[in-house]
Structure 1
């Protein structure tokens, strides 16, 4: 009977460890997904600026953890547990907790950096001011 109890304890302990690993994987996946979604929005804005020959912005609300693209009504949300930091041109800091990345018809942008962080995981989006190139990197 003692052996059976010991075996059951080891099995339950093993499932607990597996469960913890799976849940932490979900956090990392959610962070990566949020970063990729934002990169898609930034690339859309850059492409639209080039094609339509007009300025486009991605407006980030740091208080609400949301962002929008200038010609769209949709509000994209970033999970609440993800900390967002934006570095951009001073004139693109439009208010308390509001920042924009602007793309111009010639392909350039105001440039900047967006960091999405949760626990020890960090994804960094770099926007080159001269070329408007958008790079995503895990740190």
Structure 2
């Protein structure tokens, strides 16, 4: 019986060019993901710093009401730290710029009183592209953070 030529299935592989294109696209995608992640981490650090400022101010109000003594939250603009009446000082990122409006006699501080009131004022915070304002109401001592348009 005559033997028929057997045709083996041709194995299909990738060319070197195709592999290089895939590696290039993977590298570009990883780079873009890294940039996006870095921006997200920077925004998270800014939001964390804003929350720490608001919490330090609110803690001073509560401390004044509970102890019956005035309590302060102090800002050190050179060291970029905020210190409430209790707990450690917290630092904000160098990308955030603060502008304090408070009672002149207090310097870079806000004072809260046992009746719930405060010295009042506000803090303007910006990072170049975005801006926030932390308001401290003098009558009620309430602290409110809002993003500015």
If asked which structure has higher relative contact order (CA below 8 Å, sep 6+), I would say 1
Distance (Å, rounded) in 2 between the aligned partners of 1:10 and 1:73: 49
Partners of 2:138 and 2:73 in 1: how far apart?
14
Alignment of 1:58-97 (within 5 A): 58-70=73-85, 72=86, 74-93=88-107
Q: CA RMSD in A?
A: 1.7
TM-score, structure 1 as length reference? 0.85
How many Å separate the matches in 1 of 2:126 and 2:36? 19
- Displaced runs of 4 or more, over 4 A: none
Residues 58-67 or 74-83, more deviating: 74-83
Q: Deviations over 1:72-96 (max 9, x none)?
A: 4732222233222211122222xxx
Gapped regions of structure 1 (runs ≥ 5) = 94-98
TM-score (norm 2): 0.80
Query: What pairs with 1:127-138 in structure 2 (closer than 5 Å)?
Result: 127-138=136-147
Gaps of 5+ in 2: 1-15
